[in-house]
Amino acid sequence: MDFAAITDIYKADSLFGRYITLEDIEPLLLLDSRKGKVGTIGNSVEGRALYSYTIGHGPFKILMWSQMHGNESTATKALFDLFDFFDSDASAQSLLDAFTFCFVPMLNPDGALRYTRENANSIDLNRDFINFSQPESRALANLFESFRPDFSFNLHDQRSIFGVGETGEPATLSFLAPAYNAEREINDTRKKAIEVIIAMNQSLQEIIPGKVGRFDDSFNPNCVGDNFQMKGCPTVLIESGHYPDDYNREFCRKLTFQSILAGIFQLNEIVVVDNVIEEYLIIPQNMMVFFDFGFKNVKINYDGKELITNFVAQYKEELIENKLFFNAYFADSANCDVYFSHESYEAEGALFQSESGLYPAVGEKANFMLGNQRFENGKRI
């Protein structure tokens, strides 16, 4: 199956960028052309609908949810691309015959509106699967118990700080078969999740070689993936990350869609994977090694002394009047044994100057001069 060709054809064009809210997806979900069934599994803290979308009639049940963290929207876009594929492509019929899918495309609509990780009560829903203190957590848990999935996909975004080990490659996508116990052992349930990850990784290596990571598998039963794995449901975590110059995550959206397709087809075809654990562990683990901007060999005046140094800047995603801005601020790299930059500038000893001083103060906006060259928001202009 040519997954890349499918993802080139199907795209919900009205969904674009990082700021995706319930208002954006609701009309797409309620289209008359949808083959599946739209329902609700509850309401958010502020009363917004938690929509579900069920399609297919096969015996094997797959559950997927996205935007559990409100500012993690890449997979939400990918899910609507997948819905269009299900509605329009003849090759999708075999999947709809084999599987029954249940999707929750936006579990945290309050957080999505605020562009925050947490919900309206400032609770991280992915740390609420013991207490179930929030209506969104309870809604997903109740859906899990009533739908009784045979497999789950937990869909997230990761920040641009993550790299593939110390290779200098960004972690454009990362996968995890969550642990089911503190010893992080691999039982049959976790092995099934690993087999799906291997299929997804193999598909992506043809397009983004070296840019796939493996997320940390420390056990935390408060996390939904660990909790579901512990209950015997194979669960895969997909973390959509950074690709060069793709801060809107439109290319990564395509890759996320492709990963989901590859995972579904693996479950459908039940391809036997040799040396499954070794293949999984070959995927390098994520490390926090990236900054958005790096500036090398910069002359600064510090305490009356001229020094040559390097410094870095990092974007903060800031919602201002319902528009998302990427604002660059100077950051601290002192605790990094190794780091890389998505954009790197060689100053060749040019003198740093900014409105606030003669050296880059951590937390200050990255607007400055290097010699006669001006930089605004981290970029040379």
CATH class of 290-380: mainly beta
Residue 161 pLDDT: 97
- Residues serving a catalytic function are 239
Residue 272 pLDDT: 67
Distance CA 119, CA 125 (A): 7
Convert the pLDDT of each residue in 245-303 to its tens digit. Answer: 999 999 999 999 999 999 999 999 876 667 889 999 999 999 999 999 999 999 998 88
Residue 280 pLDDT: 96
* Domain parsing of the chain, residue ranges: 3-288, 290-380
Strand 340-346 to 290-302 pairing: parallel
pLDDT band at 356 (very low <50, low <70, confident <90, very high): confident
Residue 87 corresponds to which amino acid? D
Convert the pLDDT of each residue in 180-202 to its tens digit. Answer: 999 999 999 999 999 999 999 99
pLDDT band at 340 (very low <50, low <70, confident <90, very high): very high
CATH class of 3-288: alpha beta
Which of 115, 112, 103, 149 is CA-nearest to residue 260? 103
Which of 378, 310, 309, 346 is CA-nearest to residue 368? 378
Q: What is the mean pLDDT of residues 145-172?
A: 98
Residue 13 pLDDT: 94
Residue 230 pLDDT: 96
Distance CA 180, CA 318 (A): 36
What's the pTM?
A: 0.96
Distance CA 162, CA 168 (A): 10
Residue 275 pLDDT: 85
Q: Average per-residue pLDDT in the chain?
A: 96
Q: What is the mean pLDDT of residues 1-6?
A: 86
Residue 330 pLDDT: 97
Residue 46 pLDDT: 98
Residue 336 pLDDT: 84
Q: What is the mean pLDDT of residues 98-124?
A: 98
- What region does 103 belong to: left with phi over 0, alpha with psi -120 to 50, or beta? beta
Convert the pLDDT of each residue in 41-61 to its tens digit. Answer: 999 999 999 999 999 999 999
Residue 54 pLDDT: 98
Cβ atoms within 10 Å of 319's Cβ, excluding its own: 15
Residue 269 pLDDT: 86
